[in-house]
Amino acid sequence: MITLRELTKRYGETVAVDGLTLDIKGGQVTGFLGPNGAGKSTTMRMILGLDHPSGGEALIDGRPYSSIRHPIREVGALLDAKALHPARSARSHLVAQARSNGVPLRRVDEVLEMVGLTKVARRPAGAFSLGMYQRLGVAGALLGDPRVLIFDEPVNGLDPDGVRWVRELVRSLAAEGRTVFLSSHLMSEMQLTADQLVVIGRGKLLADTSMADLLASSSLSSVRVRTPDAADLRTLIDHLLRDGGVHVESPAADELVVKGHSAEQVGDLANRLGLRLHELRTVSASLEQVYMELTAQSVEYETGTGGTAFGGTGSEEPEGEGA
């Protein structure tokens, strides 16, 4: 388990991470989301001892990373897939890591096969594509067969087959009881992958909840009803629930869209009057929609709305972006 307690990082007057308190548990994939500049990469670097906290602490199974004698045997991490010497082969890179951490060399060939790099294992890494770098980075994270895994944008540069492979891999690792902490900007993929979600904005915690609960709680979710008795059902809902924060729309004569009420509640109301229902279903918001709603006030670089792609009154382009 990864434990954060009031974890804080300041750079001068800038607060990059602001008092994060989390328990990232084993047996599930925990997705880590936030706009550029939210503090995701800084948080991961502090967990791994690469950045020193200005306050609070980050612990792995109750210990700081710096106290772990053979780190890759307990914590596997992929933060920057290209952080290796380009003249080294993939195999040489992994052999150096294995020897420095007491990992049997046979494990090197095992992880190369797992990530699909066996045929190019002796090729200089400098000739690799971004997707191949990512696969090598995953191999390095898996090398020590660790119980805790941290991945920062692991699907960057991968083709659709590679993206699906990463998804299946991290879910299988979590199913074995391991702690998997994963950041990504691909909302559709995160929705398919993560069980739990941590969302931060401007260094502050915005949400720490299950994927199911986050989607269900969104004001963008609704109940779609198709019934020949739509007018009667709407009258009933308006009469009984007019003070309950329920909003009803009628896109067609035989349809209702109900927000603020569950499908079960709508069905029970219809049953009370014996109204006919031809369709009753919940339409959940996508993770992208919920994320945009949740982080609307935490975006570091806001684009202008009055200009065009080639000029106008859009906002000035920033010099760089951070994660």
CATH number where 236 lies: 3.30.70.100
Domain end point (choices 176, 199, 216): 216
- Residue pair 182/194 in contact (Cβ under 8 Å)? The answer is yes
Angle subtended by helix axes 106-114 and 90-100, to nearest 10: 130
3-class DSSP string for 19-30: EEEEEECCCEEE
Kind of pairing, strands 179-183 and 148-152? parallel
Residue 179 shares a structural domain with residue 272 = no
Residue 205 shares a structural domain with residue 119 = yes
Residue 188 shares a structural domain with residue 238 = no
Q: What is the pLDDT of residue 248?
A: 83
Q: Residue 17 in 3-state DSSP?
A: strand
Residues β-bridged to residue 197: 31, 209
Residue 121 shares a structural domain with residue 39 = yes
Distance CA 259, CA 220 (A): 8
Residue 231 lies in a domain: yes
**What are the φ and ψ backbone dihedral angles of 234, each rounded to 5 degrees?**
-65, -40
Domain end point (choices 163, 193, 216): 216
Give the mean pLDDT per block of 10 residues along the chain (323 residues).
96 93 96 92 95 96 92 93 89 94 94 94 91 93 96 90 94 96 92 94 92 78 88 82 69 86 85 90 84 78 49 41 44
Residue 60 shares a structural domain with residue 196 = yes
Q: What is the pLDDT of residue 44?
A: 96
Residue 202, sorted as left (phi over 0), alpha (psi -120 to 50) or beta, turns out to be: left
CA distances from residue 130 to 125, 151, 281 in whole angstroms, order as listed = 10, 15, 42
Residue 148 shares a structural domain with residue 59 = yes
HSE-up of residue 166 (Cα within 13 Å, Cβ side): 34
CATH number where 83 lies: 3.40.50.300
Domain end point (choices 168, 188, 216): 216
Residue 130 shares a structural domain with residue 274 = no
CB atoms within 10 A of CB 116: 16
The reported pTM is: 0.79
Distance CA 267, CA 316 (A): 51
Residue 292 lies in a domain: no
- The position carrying tokens 């986050």 is 214
Residue 309 lies in a domain: no
Residue 98 lies in a domain: yes
Residue 95 shares a structural domain with residue 212 = yes
Chain centroid to Cα 227, Å, comes to: 38
Residue-range definition of the domain harbouring residue 144: 2-216
Residue 22 shares a structural domain with residue 153 = yes
Q: What is the pLDDT of residue 70?
A: 87
Distance CA 37, CA 302 (A): 12
Residue 304 lies in a domain: no
- Residue pair 125/84 in contact (Cβ under 8 Å)? The answer is yes
Domains held by the chain: number = 2
Q: What is the pLDDT of residue 51?
A: 95
Closest CA to 7 of 58, 41, 64: 58
CB atoms within 10 A of CB 3: 18
Residue 38 shares a structural domain with residue 101 = yes
Residue 229 shares a structural domain with residue 258 = yes
Residue 14 shares a structural domain with residue 55 = yes
- The position carrying tokens 């992880």 is 111
**Which residue type does 255 have?**
E
Angle subtended by helix axes 106-114 and 130-142, to nearest 10: 130
Residue 163 lies in a domain: yes
**What are the φ and ψ backbone dihedral angles of 106, each rounded to 5 degrees?**
-60, -25
Q: What is the pLDDT of residue 308?
A: 43
